[in-house]
Amino acid sequence: MKVTLISIPVRDQEKALRFYTEKLGFIKKKDLPLGGGNRWLTLVSPEWQDGPELVLEPAPNHFEPSKVYQDALMEAGYPYTQFDSENVEADYKRLKELGVEFSMKPTEMGTVKVAVFNDTCGNNIQIVETL
């Protein structure tokens, strides 16, 4: 077995698409209409275009437990997921210049450096650099 898809719940797929492509640099891979204004919308990393696809999942709009879970994570300040970074400090500076809001500045924690930002779509995302 292998991981091919990873879902991130988003409240607005179009807003999420803009954030994840324009700010974070992901590349749109699939964009198929599903009806009811929903889309099968996936992104990939530019460094690993054949790697796992990130699904911008509209679940919070249609499944209340997903919305409750997403809200609870945000309220507690917990990241929904994490992305690897080769240089958290450089990514932090680049994203700050693009207007991305961070709740945690780059911080060393043992063998890693982490930072946490708001994806504007209901999630905290952590970026991690192995030291």
Q: Tens of pLDDT along 60-93?
A: 888 999 999 999 999 999 999 999 999 999 999 9
Q: Is residue 40 very low, low, confident or very high in pLDDT (cuts 50, 70, 90)?
A: very high
Q: CB–CB of 55/7 below 8 Å?
A: yes
Q: What are phi and psi of 30, to 5 degrees?
A: -130, 145
Domains of the chain with bracketed CATH = 5-130 (3.10.180.10)
CA torsion 14-81-100-57 (nearest 10°) is 10
The Cβ of residue 22 has, within 10 Å, a number of other Cβ atoms equal to 10
User: How far apart are alpha carbons 18 and 37 in whole angstroms?
Assistant: 17
pTM passes above 0.85 = yes
